[in-house]
């Protein structure tokens, strides 16, 4: 859910190649957004266009090679309600103690395309930050894809990929699956479609 007034997300963006795991920008904390200008609006529009072209639920700026603390998302909450937004400089809140319930569901990443493995995460999450206009926003996910997405994308901005959160054996299987599928994803995917895509 969102506690923030609905703001139209920018459209008309350009699809950009998605950066893969292993590139330095994927594995370091990103820079704070300080300028809410046309350049940021263009970036957010491009991020949405790229996420949709890749059929993703979320995308962080470093996944298109940009060193800024911003992510976009479009996914469903536990009640199957669709929530869309852009978040700059997110602060993530997770439940603690008896309020903490883990959801051990499959997770994937557009920067390791096609591969999935179970990753246990709290089934509730909240992010507070600003949108691409500088307005304060709060998004909360309870169950569904949204809670997982908010955590996954905030991790990206801190230089963490979800493979860092799974046991070593599961991580090795994840990398093996990704390696087997790598040839079906062009280096500029999703600018160029995956092999065999319509």
Q: Provide the token pair at 163.
A: 């493979």
Rounded to a whole number of angstroms, the distance between the first and last alpha carbons of the chain is 33
Biggest alpha carbon–alpha carbon distance for the chain: 47
3-state per-residue secondary structure call for the chain:
CECCCCCCCCCCCCCCCCCCCCCHHHHCCCCCCCCCCHHHHHHHHHHHHHHHHCCCCEEEHHHHCCCCCEEEEEEECCCCCEEEEEEEEEEEECCCHHHCCEEEEEEEECCEEEEEEEEEEECEEEEEEECCCCCEEEEEEECHHHHHHHHHHHHHHCCCCHHHHCCHHHHHHHHHHHHHHHHHCCCCCCCCCCCCCC
The answer to whether residue 38 is catalytic is no
Residue tagged active-site, from 23, 96, 153, 180: 153
Active site residues: 153
């Amino acid at each position: 859910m969102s506690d923030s007034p609905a703001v139209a997300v920018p459209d008309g963006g350009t699809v950009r190649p998605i950066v893969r795991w292993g590139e330095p920008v994927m594995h370091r904390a990103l820079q704070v957004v300080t300028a809410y200008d046309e350049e940021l609006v263009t970036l957010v529009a491009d991020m949405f266009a790229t996420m949709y072209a890749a059929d993703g639920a979320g995308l962080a700026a470093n996944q298109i090679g940009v060193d800024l603390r911003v992510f976009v998302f479009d996914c469903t909450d536990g009640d199957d309600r669709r929530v869309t937004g852009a978040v700059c400089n997110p602060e993530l809140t997770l439940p603690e103690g008896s309020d903490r319930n883990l959801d051990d569901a499959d997770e994937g990443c557009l920067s390791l395309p096609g591969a999935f493995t179970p990753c246990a995460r709290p089934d509730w999450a909240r992010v507070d930050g600003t949108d691409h206009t500088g307005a304060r926003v709060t998004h909360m996910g309870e169950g569904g894809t949204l809670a997982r997405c908010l955590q996954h994308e905030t991790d990206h901005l801190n230089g963490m990929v979800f493979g860092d959160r799974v046991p070593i054996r599961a991580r090795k299987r994840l990398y093996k699956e990704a390696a087997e599928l790598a040839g079906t994803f062009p280096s500029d995917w999703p600018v160029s479609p995956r092999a065999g895509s319509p």
